[in-house]
Every structure is written in structure tokens, then in C-alpha cells.
Amino acid sequence: MVRQALAAIGSAPQLRLGTVHRRTPSRGAAYHRERLSVYDALVARLDQRCTTGDEYGMIFMDGDGSAQGYYSAHRALKLADRRIIEDPLFQVSHRSQWVQMADLVAWTAYQSLQRAPSRQFAWDWYARYLLGQDVFGGPLGL
């Protein structure tokens, strides 16, 4: 069923996707800062992509909105010309098929990078099903 879902996502001509990552040995608070740094870079990159394409965008995230650290990336964009409008909008995944799809894409990208022996069956799923729709040409290291 997962492969069928990935095939549907990867073959939908209206959809584009992308994933970002950063390898880090950090743990605890240092890991949290690293994660927010990646998000800052992602928001800046998406804002620039929207500017270049003369588009506007919004970011929807899995969660209940209690993770306050994500707002600063949006607030750092210049209000006069930002293309990522609004702060991130949080939605729990079990209430949104879009967030569920994003979770599946993220998990598949993670498996392609992490390559845990117990998940070898999924190592090539990103390349096989999703790479053709990836705006970055594959999981992008930030």
C-alpha cells in the first residue's frame, strides 16, 4: 500500500515535492538548534523560489503549534517583499491527507539517506517513486 501511495504522489503532474536534511552528531538542545537552523534555511530557500517564480506560498506543518521555534524563520523575512505568507500553519497529520502525504515523503527520503539495514526494502523508494517530482533533484543538504 505504501508503494502504491508513493507511486500516486510521484506520478501526479500537479504535485512537486522536495526534502531537506542535515547530518549532525548534535544531541539535546544542540540538536534542537540545528533543526531550527535547517528550517530557517528552508524557509529562506522557499521564499526565494517563490520570488523567482512570481508565486506565493504557505507552509503547513505536522503538529499542534506548540513548537514555537519555527515562527522566527518567517518573521525574519522582510514583510515588504516576502513570498512565504503567514507563519507556519500547524495541523495534526491524522486530520490532513496532505500532511500524511508529506510525512510519507519525508520518511521515504529519510530511509534513502539513513539506509538502516532493517529498512533496506525502502532504500530505493525515493529514487524509484518520487525523484521525478523533486524540485531540488533529490534530498537537499542544508
Which ranges of the chain have pLDDT less than 50? none
Give the CA distances from residue 44 to residues 37, 63, 112, in Å, rounded to whole numbers and listed in that order. 11, 21, 25
Q: How far apart are CA 12 and CA 71, in angstroms?
A: 31
Q: Where are the domains of the chain?
A: 2-141
Closest to 36 measured CA to CA, from 83, 70, 79, 7: 70
Q: How many other CB atoms are found less than 10 A from the CB of residue 138?
A: 15
Q: pTM here? A: 0.88
Q: For residue range 14-33, what is the model confidence (pLDDT) as tens digits?
A: 999 999 999 999 999 999 99
